[in-house]
Amino acid sequence: MILTRVAPTLERREGDLGTAAAGEAGERFLRLANGELDRAYRLAGLLLGDEHEAQDATQDALIRAWQSIGSLRDPAGFQSWFDRILVNLCRDRLRRRRRITFVPIETEDDGGGHRPATPKATDPFRVVLDRDEAVRAMAGLNPDERIVLILHYWADLTLDAVADRLGWPAGTVKTRLHHGLDQIRRTLASHPDEGIR
């Protein structure tokens, strides 16, 4: 009878959480997450193009990962497992704003020949994402295409590895990569001075 089971079950779960917090799972999680933290933050930064959002997304991913650490079957798969959580959170953020609007650093010139030292101009991720026309064109891609390109070209994952990491079919990943590249080519073609090098 659940009449006598619901409340005790709740109490038991609270106790389990308290035990887990001080236990081996916590130490293991710290060890694994510490090893991935820099990379995860950089991945989030390149996906989101904003250091503050990257910090928020990475923190959210850490919290979510800690909540569901019990679902990690193999510690050797932590990076892939954590990437999936992080990328999913970043994708949610990208969808909410639909598209990153990068203001090229050059346009932030105050007219006097020097750039104002605004936080946006010095965001390290924006510096990377703004300095080349082809990379800058990635801002116009939809979130899924952008994710595939970053994981493939920056994280150096094969397309099969990207598919495995995201839980998407390999064909979907390939399609998104090709659509993304085509979109960038079209963008570059509309700016003949930049063009494909």
Helical spans, DSSP H, in the chain = 6-21, 24-48, 51-67, 78-97, 119-122, 124-130, 133-136, 143-149, 159-166, 170-189
- Residue 149: other Cβ atoms inside 10 A: 21
Which range in 36-44, 98-106, 107-115, 157-165 contacts another protein by CB under 8 A?
Answer: 36-44
> What's the distance, CA 41 to chain centroid?
8
Which of 17/76 has CB closer to another protein? 17
- Angle between helix axes 24-48 and 51-67 (nearest 10 degrees) is 150
Under the binding rule (CB under 8 A), the answer on residue 34 touching another protein is yes
Within 129-188, the residues that bind another protein by CB under 8 A are: 131-132, 134-135, 138, 143-144, 149-150, 153-154, 156, 166-168, 172, 181, 184-185, 188
- Distance CA(160)–CA(152), nearest Å, equals 10
Q: Which of 26, 104, 116, 119 binds another protein (CB under 8 A)?
A: 26
Q: Which of 50, 90, 102, 125 binds another protein (CB under 8 A)?
A: 125
Which range in 1-9, 98-106, 112-120, 157-165 contacts another protein by CB under 8 A?
Answer: 1-9
